[in-house]
Structure formats: structure tokens, C-alpha cells
Amino acid sequence: MPVTRLADLIDPAQCPCLVIKVGSSLLVGPQGLRRDWIAGLVDEIAVYRARGQNIIIVSSGAIALGAARLGLDKGGRGSLADAQAAASVGQIALSGLWAELLERHGHTAAQLLLTLDDLEDRRRYLNATATLGRLRDAGAVPVINENDSVATHEIRFGDNDRLAARVAQAVQASAVLLLSDVDGLFDRDPADPAAKLVREVRGISAEIKAMASGSSGSGLGSGGMTSKLQAAEIAEMAGVALAIVNGNHDTPIARALVSDTGTLFLPTEGRRRRDAARKAWLGGRMKLKGDLVIDAGAARALQSGSSLLAAGIAAVNGAFNRGDPVGIVNADGGVLAHGLSEYDSGECALLMGRQSADHEALLGYAPRSAVVHRNQLVLK
Ligand code: GLU
């Protein structure tokens, strides 16, 4: 069952995987890290984990915290160099706190610092998703931020709202929860007494966009409502629900979701078909760079939802790199699937027809679990 109400975001049956983005203004106050509030949030997250939800945290706050520690003005956002230096200082303290608080509940934190390219470039996308998948299987809780200390203007996500939506798209999460310092999207400037909270949005129209003012309420983060709507658009394209709620309370998640206070962006019916969204991204406008010809056994395995293993490959056509989209075809040339290849064409040729146990010796390095992972392929 897909997410249809705010409360569904903490229901493991409706939302097995939830990405929670925490804004800078909630994490960092005038005295530095808001330890008690973060501890309360982690207590909540531990409850959801125990109920069986897979939770991925996207944490802002590095620049704001580092700027406070270094005494930089404008919250560390006065120049790119300031922001990068502030992020380096803030990130280490931020991750340390997440790790410490999660550890209290017996959870191991895993830090990932990503740049835009890590999720846009298909080769690096495979790396990031493989890491996130392995962390999920190993039971660790990912804590993600943008890699602000090396990211430059051109490659920055610019804000963690969009980063969270991209992560959700990459791991096929069920929903994204943006914990912010506002209750959600208002139909006009929230300072206007006539402003009303928009509780549900299906499809982001020009009218909805016009409601966003674009300024960050706190001045601490870089987001604001405009970036939240951009995140909602990314989520919508990927068939993922996204909610904006106010985190300025104790047990912020339960309070907002149970009292139904926030804005929930729901993908339109067409988008709910995850496969359609994934197909669009996987295939995109990119031309297939080659083909993997597979045997009948591998074809049956694909139909039943398995990954493509090297043992089932009979021939490799074309020259392609790791991460390139390839066709998966039967002996007659009929296209069975499209997917992203975990290996380049030379390596595929080396591995084809061979059992996984032989791969390390053939490659000279630790092999991947499949040639095309089931999460990275779309049946035709
Ligand atoms: N990545 C930034 C930080 O850690 C925050 C970006 C944002 O405000 O969304 O400070």
C-alpha cells in the first residue's frame, strides 16, 4: 500500500523505507548543537527502526555549526571558502553526535558525504546505491550530507532538501520527510494572518509554485520553500511521497504526523508506478551502449525478479563503461530488459559464462554481486 496520509510515514507497512531530512535551524542553535532536541529525535527514530522501518537520515547543520565554532559571520555563507571551511569543522562534530546518540540505541551510524555527481552520473550512482544497499543489509543507519567542503557552486545540490529527494529516488524509498522550522506550505506568505496551511498537494502546478516565497525562515539553512518544492518535484517524478513538517517540538515526527499538521506531496497515479519512474531515469534519454546476450535460464531468472549474473551471459556486444545503460537480449536478439551494467564491456566479456566464485581471480579485485543488479534493471 502506498503512502496516502501523513501518519503513513511512520507505518512500516505503508512506508518500509523513509528518508528523514533535518534542517540546520533545528540542529544548530545559538549555543551550538541542540543536543537534547537531537537526542529526542534519535529516540523517535529508534522506535521506528524497532518497528521495522529502514530509516536514512539526511543531516544539514555542518556549515551553521562550523561557522559558529570558527566565528565566521553570515552563518558561514559569506563566501564559498567560508562555507567549505565551516562545513569541514561542523561535519565532524555533527557526525560524532549522530553516531553517539544512535549508538545509545544500539545502532551503528554510517556517514556518507555526497556531491550532486554521485547521484547523477550513472557510474557513481551505482557506487552510492550499492553502498546504501549494503549498509541497509548490515543494519547501519546512514547519515548523509552534501560534501560541502569540496563541493563547489556548480556541483552543489545547494540544499539538502533536493539531496534527500535524490537519495530517496536512488534507494527507492517510500517517502521523504523534511523536518523544517515551518509547518509546511502556506497558500500565501505565512506572516499574513489569512494564510492557510496546504495539507495535500497532488502534482506541483504553477499555482503551487507561486505559493513559495523562496526565503529560508531562519537564515541558517540554504533551503526555503522554493527548494522544498524542487525536492517535492524530484520525489514526484520518482513516485515517492514527500512531507514538510515543523520539527520545532519534542518528538517532532510523531507530533506532526499524528496531529496531521504538515504538507504532504503525493505522486499522481501514473507516477506511483515506480517502475515507470525508474525506467525513465535508468533509460533516460541515453542511448544503450551495448547488449548482453543471455541464455534461457538467465532470462527466466530475470522474469522472476533476480539480478543478471555473469554465468547466464552468452555474449557481449558493443563497448561500454561501468554504469552505462545496456540492453539485455535473448539469443534471437529480443530485448528482455534494460539496465545499468556494473562492469565495463571488457570485464563482462571476461566474466561471461563464469560462476561468481571465479570472478575475483579473473578480475583481480573484489567482484560486484551481479553484472546488472535487479534494482538497476527494468524488464521490457
Ligand atoms: N549541507 C549544508 C550543511 O550541512 C546544509 C544545506 C541546507 O541548508 O540544506 O550545512
Nearest to 161, CA basis, from 212, 87, 224, 79 = 224
Nearest to 113, CA basis, from 95, 89, 138, 137 = 95
**End-to-end Cα distance, the chain:** 24
Nearest protein Cα to ligand 1, atom 6: 159
Inter-residue contact 196 to 187 (CB < 8 Å): yes
Atom of ligand 1 nearest to the CA of 159: 9
Nearest to 231, CA basis, from 304, 294, 276, 180 = 180
Inter-residue contact 139 to 208 (CB < 8 Å): no
Ligand 1 midpoint to CA 316 (Å): 44
The CATH number fitting domain 6-278, selected from 3.20.20.110, 3.40.1160.10, 1.10.579.10, 3.30.160.270: 3.40.1160.10
Ligand 1 midpoint to CA 145 (Å): 7
Report strand pairing: 32-33 vs 335-340.
unpaired
Residue to probe by mutation, ligand 1, list 98, 160, 227, most atoms within 8 Å of CB: 160
Q: Is the CB of 63 under 6 A from ligand 1?
A: yes
Quick check: pTM over 0.75? yes
Q: Is the CB of 324 under 6 A from ligand 1?
A: no
Atom of ligand 1 nearest to the CA of 91: 4
The CATH number fitting domain 288-379, selected from 2.30.130.10, 2.60.120.260, 3.40.50.300, 2.30.29.30: 2.30.130.10
Q: How far apart, in whole angstroms, are the C-alpha atoms of residue 277 and residue 264?
A: 19
Q: 74 burial class (0-12, 13-18, 19+ CB within 10 angstroms)?
A: exposed
Q: How far apart, in whole angstroms, are the C-alpha atoms of residue 183 and residue 94?
A: 25
Domain boundaries, the chain: 6-278, 288-379
Mean pLDDT per 10-residue interval, the chain, length 380 residues: 91 96 94 95 97 97 94 90 94 97 98 85 86 94 93 69 91 94 89 91 88 54 76 89 94 91 87 57 67 96 94 96 92 91 95 95 92 87
Ligand 1 midpoint to CA 24 (Å): 6
Q: Is the CB of 148 under 6 A from ligand 1?
A: yes
Position 306 scores a pLDDT of 94
Q: Is the CB of 224 under 6 A from ligand 1?
A: no
Nearest to 34, CA basis, from 25, 43, 47, 21 = 25
Position 279 scores a pLDDT of 61
Report strand pairing: 335-340 vs 325-329.
antiparallel
Q: How far apart, in whole angstroms, are the C-alpha atoms of residue 87 and residue 76?
A: 8
Inter-residue contact 286 to 321 (CB < 8 Å): no
What does the angle CA 336 – CA 341 – CA 344 come to, to the nearest 5 degrees?
Answer: 130
Q: Is the CB of 82 under 6 A from ligand 1?
A: no
Q: How far apart, in whole angstroms, are the C-alpha atoms of residue 281 and residue 45?
A: 30
Q: Is the CB of 223 under 6 A from ligand 1?
A: yes
Nearest to 273, CA basis, from 232, 247, 240 = 240
